[in-house]
Amino acid sequence: MGVPKFFRYISERYPCLSELAREHSIPEFDNLYLDMNGIVHNCSHPDDSNIHFHLEETQIFQDIYNYIDKLFYLIKPQKLFFLAVDGVAPRAKMNQQRSRRFRSAREAEQLEAKARQRGEKREHERFDSNCITPGTEFMVRLQAGLRCFLRTKISQDPLWQKCRVILSGQETPGEGEHKIMDYIRYMKAQPTFDPNTRHCLYGLDADLIILGLCTHELHFVVLREEVKFGRNVKRTSVEETRFFLLHLGLLREYLELEFHELSTPEQKLDVAQLIDDWVLMGFMVGNDFIPHLPCLHISSNALPLLYKTYIRIYKQLGGNINEHGKLNLDRLQQFLHALSEVELQLFEEHSDDLKYMNAKTEAFDVDIDDIKNDSGESYNEDLAALIDESMKLYEDDDDDVDPDDEQAVLRSEFQNYKRNYYRNKFKNEMHEDLISELSYHYISAIQWVLDYYYRGVQSWDWYYPFHYAPFISDLNNIKNTKVNFKMGKPFLPFQQLLAVLPAASVNLLPMAYHDLMLKPNSPLAEFYPTEFESDLNGKKHDWEAVVLIPFIEEKRLLSAMADCEPQLSVEERERNRHGPMYQYDYNAKSQGPMKGLAPLKPLQNVFCTELARWSDEIALNSPRTVCVELANAARHVFFPGFPTMKHLEFDFELRHDRVKVFEQPSRNQSMVLMPRQREAQDSLQSVAAQHLGQVVYIGWPHLIKAKVESVATRDQVVDRDGIRANEPRRFDSDCKSLEEHFTGRMAIKFPNYDVLIYIRTYIGSSVEFGKRGNVFMKDSWSSAITAYPAQGVVSDIKVRDNLHAQFNKIEQLFPTGSTVFFIGKPYAGSEGTVLDPMLVYSCGRVQVNIRVGPEPQLMPARLLQEERDRDFMNSYKVCRELNVNSKCLGRLTGTVWVVLGPRREKMENVSKHNIGLQLKYPRLNEERAGYCRRINNQWFYSSLAVDLMHTYIENFPAIVDYFSRSGDRGEFIYEEDIYPHAMGQHLIEDVANWVRQQPHMKVDRITCGSRTVCKETVELLIKAVDELRMLPVKNVKLQVKPHLLVKPNVTLPDVYRTSGAVRLFDRVVVVRTIYMVPVGITATVIGIHPVSDPNPVRLECLNAVETFCELLFDRPVSNCGDIHGIADERIYKVPESALVIISSLENDEKQQPKQQANMAVSSPLKTRTDALRRNWRDQQQQPRFVTAAGSKYNPITMNTRIADEFYWPSDAPATSSASGSTSGSTAASTSAQAAATAATAAAASASAAALNQE
């Protein structure tokens, strides 16, 4: 099943099904499962199309670890984290694995050949993605690395210490997702299993959706990367990747609507039974083990046809076809018989295209007999053979068919079509033995897959022995089919490698087996063809084609390998074995040291146990499956974050509403939900009486808690202050935007928008401080007010409370030794440690020790960047500079796809090249940083961009001339248009290659409206920060009110956010746990990146912009990135909500005159005042303390002993000359000391007064 295709299909048919994962709206999960192979592939070869792209293995492993860490941080599982890497697969899967690997090897060879034609040379050895197969050296090293990584994370990260971690690696037989299913079945079989367990399964395979439904767990979510369709889609890094949550619980409810006709007043539809048959129908459009049935393609709406047929004959069936994973063959026979009529209808719809009856000879422009009888040199033997074979397709045509009988003609055409299919695909006649054999194997295949999904592997050596499936109408005698499987045993790793790898990947095997692949006289030579065909078989894309290579024969394979085994080394024999899973649990007692394994560092103390667990320990040897819906699940309780259609009565309809879930409106039907009108929600007074000031739930079916601030109609508004007149234009605008969102994105049609409520959505639990050290947890609401139709409000529902940390006393919130951040003045953003929380009971304050470091001088960097920002010029000036028109400039700087060769109508499988400079992407709202900028919908270009364009114009004048004169606005242009007399001379390829090699192509694409700094500015910032590294940090003891302290990951961002937005060059500190970034690290903002979801499901996210700040850290942080090739491990994007501003641009501007005045103090004066200060400090017998309030009731509050670097006297008195008397000198010295003491005390008092804030 094509993953994007199936994902897109169900997302557009059921528009509320998936949503973008946002940290504040992700539900709590008990268990997280990772199907690891998608991660390994994404991190090891993300750009196969670029032969110059290369990653070292240590970087690949680090990216994999980062990806795992990112997913763990995103979901935060509470009980179990299960990682599954593909082990040796069942024989049934190896046919598909073999096809994929042969295809990838051929594609790699073709890419290399094209690069050589362009004169490009590979600088590094090519990464063979086929090494991601169990038993290779790469996978063995990855297994060792994962074990080391998991022990490191559990030992060092408190978040990982809360749950059990299990690694089922490449040594453990089985596909990753099915090893996950084995463990879920094992858990469900335990008497202590919680039926309300919340599961999250990550992976790229569409089969995960079906697998998740097979568990019949009510709270199950599939997590996957954001899917973007179309060209020019930017490849994102691990940190920038966004994820979708696909809610299988909501999919269950949508399927109940899809098959609502099956429910009667006498017998309500059993959704669990329906899902079992829905799973079976999904298999008929193909999966990794069975080819799709002819005529049934997802892209041709095959699934709705299956649904309609099932609904039509459901009453006749008398029960399920799929009975908990076992086929009822009699019912399956009935279903297939009914489906055969659909098959004929599908053929009839496409018969005009096929033209089987009328295209025998008309397909040739010359007389066939003339060709065959021609004995001259022009006679082509291959062509004649082709004609002979083609004519055989029609030699059995029934000439007795009455041409006036349309049904008879149609059936005759269909019989010819089927006969041709079997001759072409199976190289055999359509006789009874072939049909019988195909029927048996196809039914066996369906049963094997059902067993695999519901019970696990029931046969390791079974497989479907054909590339194609039979016609539905030929599966007409199956009810007596006897299906029996022998369990067998899994291949060893080297056996699978020889079974699935092409000869091009021979180096992934031990030398002992090379001859079996490479030598012509090898007993296995026929299984490793270097040339092979592929068949699209009704599909549109090459990756969907059937790879026509022979199936490996197990007995021959094992026999040939046996002779080579004595040549294996000890290390190779160690690789060629099965192994256990590994279970990790946190242990506060050290388990000893661990050696480092690059890129991971050694550990002196490992704080987790590692227990080997074998697959047979969790195997369920029972004929009955545990994949059933458990009776004691909480079905009528709302679990926050898990959407449901309950709580509102509604009607529904499948129709073409052009719902826009992705970039383009859907062309297929969508399930439209129509909540029924509620009279109680139709009047202003009634709605206000029910909901004003109350907590309700909005966003149905994605319910979220909200507080109602006001209620409005077009004419009136009711809020806490009473009733007042409304602004009709604003109300109409709100109604219009709401209706567009609900109907255009979510396919929800509310009965009316006569009454709107204005709400604040729930953002978390805030901490409130009472008297005498009491602490209260209180719901906190967003500052943004959102409109919502009263007809969609849900209230009075039973909700499952999430178990958040609860604090009742100040010492629980701020225990001694805990880390806090101070947000008062003058030390805003400083990290500190709680010394004495109990002090709050006597004076209402907490004693803390604040660490204050020196701040860098950023003005030179800021001035340089301001100069660079003035370097941009508008499009009009650029056109004048380059002497081109605006039309040419637009194409030159954008994306221009050129199709090689002449103009054509069909665009399938054609070569296209992008010859534009790709400085801007208007449709994606992206720009090339440092080269162009979009301001108020106008484009501006830097001198770098102008120089680049000038070089392009000089090198490729013919293309620029075409851009200037052509008025073609089509999606593509053609090589023939630009070079009509030079087609095929690789001129277009040369242009595209030249563009790819330019420096700007390595520069990041950023969202329009982002702000970044240039390389030289970053260098100045690094210098300014590094100059302060050797300076000491001062410690200040304070007694402060609790509300001035930020507790990481508990205090809500609204508490410490400033009124203004974060700006470039602001100094900030990270105060919330962010993936890969340690809490408390300080940094400088060097980039502002607004991020929005252009098409969200949740209403509160509509038009919402989340700001990410690109930070330059003051010190390197492991695994962070760089920028402009510098600042290695010091760059990362962090959400603005995780930052506290230490010093801002505004503050620096205010301080600038004072700093300049201080800088003007003469050097002699500075020397004397420094001496005075040191003398005064030497005279102090002990540290002096003053109170923050300057009151005797608030003892020890702030230590005023300040390091030299931070005391700068601006008003120190001038001293007399050295020729004065001793007494005068002493008096002057005493006077200066007194002045210094007074100045210091005054400064301390001023600082302390500022700290005594409410």
- The model's confidence at residue 1157, banded by pLDDT at 50, 70 and 90, is very low
- The model's confidence at residue 396, banded by pLDDT at 50, 70 and 90, is low
**Residue 958, token pair as written in the block:** 């013919």
Give, in order, the Cα–Cα distances in Å from 1236 to each of 728, 743, 1221, 1230.
66, 72, 22, 10
Is the pLDDT confidence value at 601 over 50? yes
User: For residue range 813-852, what is the model confidence (pLDDT) as tens digits?
Assistant: 999 999 999 998 888 899 999 999 999 988 889 999 999 9
Q: 280 Cβ partners below 8 Å, 6+ apart?
A: 321, 322, 446, 450
Q: How many domains does the chain have?
A: 8
Is the pLDDT confidence value at 406 over 50? yes
Is the pLDDT confidence value at 5 over 80? no
Of the three residues 1013, 1047, 1081, the one that is the final residue of a domain is: 1047
User: For residue range 426-472, what is the model confidence (pLDDT) as tens digits?
Assistant: 888 888 889 999 999 999 999 999 999 999 999 999 999 999 999 99
Residue 526's domain is classified under what CATH number?
Answer: 1.25.40.1050
Which amino acid type is present at position 877? K
- The model's confidence at residue 1218, banded by pLDDT at 50, 70 and 90, is very low
The answer to whether residue 1013 is domain-embedded is no
Q: How far apart are the first and last CA of the chain?
A: 62
Which amino acid type is present at position 784? A
The answer to whether residue 1015 is domain-embedded is no
- The model's confidence at residue 553, banded by pLDDT at 50, 70 and 90, is very high
- The model's confidence at residue 345, banded by pLDDT at 50, 70 and 90, is confident
pLDDT confidence of residue 1186 = 32
The answer to whether residue 264 is domain-embedded is no
The answer to whether residue 1086 is domain-embedded is yes
The answer to whether residue 363 is domain-embedded is no
The answer to whether residue 923 is domain-embedded is no
Count CB neighbours of 1050 within 10 A. Answer: 18
Is the pLDDT confidence value at 804 over 80? no
Higher pLDDT, 274 or 232: 274
Identify the three-state secondary structure at position 756. Answer: strand
pLDDT confidence of residue 385 = 53
Same domain, 318 and 464: yes
Rounded Cα–Cα distance for residues 165 and 1160 (Å): 62
Rounded Cα–Cα distance for residues 878 and 408 (Å): 70
Rounded Cα–Cα distance for residues 581 and 167 (Å): 6
Is the pLDDT confidence value at 355 over 70? no
- The model's confidence at residue 1202, banded by pLDDT at 50, 70 and 90, is very low
* 662-222-646 Cα angle (round to 5): 85
Of the three residues 541, 567, 593, the one that is the final residue of a domain is: 567
The answer to whether residue 383 is domain-embedded is no
Same domain, 629 and 659: no
Is the pLDDT confidence value at 544 over 80? no
User: For residue range 673-698, what is the model confidence (pLDDT) as tens digits?
Assistant: 999 999 989 899 999 999 999 999 99
User: For residue range 200-249, what is the model confidence (pLDDT) as tens digits?
Assistant: 999 878 889 999 999 999 999 999 887 654 444 445 556 667 888 999 99
Rounded Cα–Cα distance for residues 784 and 759 (Å): 8
Rounded Cα–Cα distance for residues 792 and 751 (Å): 9
User: For residue range 734-765, what is the model confidence (pLDDT) as tens digits?
Assistant: 999 999 999 999 999 999 999 999 999 998 88
pLDDT confidence of residue 651 = 96
**Residue 20, token pair as written in the block:** 């973008």
Alpha helical stretches, state H, 165-222: 176-188, 207-214
- Inter-residue contact 716 to 724 (CB < 8 Å): yes
- Inter-residue contact 544 to 578 (CB < 8 Å): no
In this prediction, residues 89-117 reach a mean pLDDT of 88
Strands (E), 313-358: 322-323, 326-327
Higher pLDDT, 181 or 232: 181
Is the pLDDT confidence value at 633 over 90? no
Same domain, 1175 and 1215: yes
Same domain, 1058 and 1039: no
Rounded Cα–Cα distance for residues 160 and 3 (Å): 31
- What is the radius of gyration, based on Cα positions, of the chain? 36
Rounded Cα–Cα distance for residues 852 and 1013 (Å): 27
In this prediction, residues 323-342 reach a mean pLDDT of 92
Domain of 531?
96-131+490-509+511-567
Rounded Cα–Cα distance for residues 218 and 629 (Å): 8
Same domain, 832 and 884: no
pLDDT confidence of residue 373 = 52
CA dihedral defined by 938, 943, 944, 946, rounded to 10 degrees? 70
Same domain, 847 and 770: no
Give phi and psi for 1220, each to the nearest 5: -65, 165
Same domain, 161 and 24: yes
User: For residue range 930-972, what is the model confidence (pLDDT) as tens digits?
Assistant: 899 998 889 999 999 999 999 999 999 999 999 998 877 777 8
Is the pLDDT confidence value at 1160 over 70? no
Same domain, 774 and 715: yes
Is the pLDDT confidence value at 17 over 90? yes
Rounded Cα–Cα distance for residues 581 and 233 (Å): 38
Tally the residues of the chain: 1254
Is the pLDDT confidence value at 1189 over 50? no
Is the pLDDT confidence value at 784 over 70? yes
CA dihedral defined by 90, 92, 96, 98, rounded to 10 degrees? 60
Same domain, 71 and 184: yes
pLDDT confidence of residue 1146 = 53
Rounded Cα–Cα distance for residues 764 and 777 (Å): 10
In this prediction, residues 292-305 reach a mean pLDDT of 81
Residue 1149's domain is classified under what CATH number?
Answer: 2.30.30.750
- The model's confidence at residue 18, banded by pLDDT at 50, 70 and 90, is confident
Same domain, 682 and 784: yes
- The model's confidence at residue 714, banded by pLDDT at 50, 70 and 90, is very high
pLDDT confidence of residue 382 = 53
Same domain, 665 and 527: no
Is the pLDDT confidence value at 402 over 80? no
The share of the chain scoring above pLDDT 90, in percent, equals 54
User: For residue range 473-522, what is the model confidence (pLDDT) as tens digits?
Assistant: 999 889 889 999 999 999 999 999 999 999 999 999 999 999 999 999 99
Give, in order, the Cα–Cα distances in Å from 1134 to each of 64, 381, 634.
20, 68, 38
pLDDT confidence of residue 1074 = 82
The answer to whether residue 52 is domain-embedded is yes
User: For residue range 964-1019, what is the model confidence (pLDDT) as tens digits?
Assistant: 988 777 778 899 889 988 888 889 988 998 998 899 988 888 888 899 999 999 99
pLDDT confidence of residue 228 = 56
Identify the three-state secondary structure at position 873. Answer: strand
pLDDT confidence of residue 445 = 94
pTM: 0.84
* Average predicted confidence (pLDDT) for the chain: 84
Is the pLDDT confidence value at 611 over 50? yes
Rounded Cα–Cα distance for residues 427 and 414 (Å): 19
pLDDT confidence of residue 713 = 96
Which amino acid type is present at position 1098? R
Same domain, 719 and 772: yes
Residue 698's domain is classified under what CATH number?
Answer: 2.170.260.40
- The model's confidence at residue 1159, banded by pLDDT at 50, 70 and 90, is very low
Identify the three-state secondary structure at position 954. Answer: helix
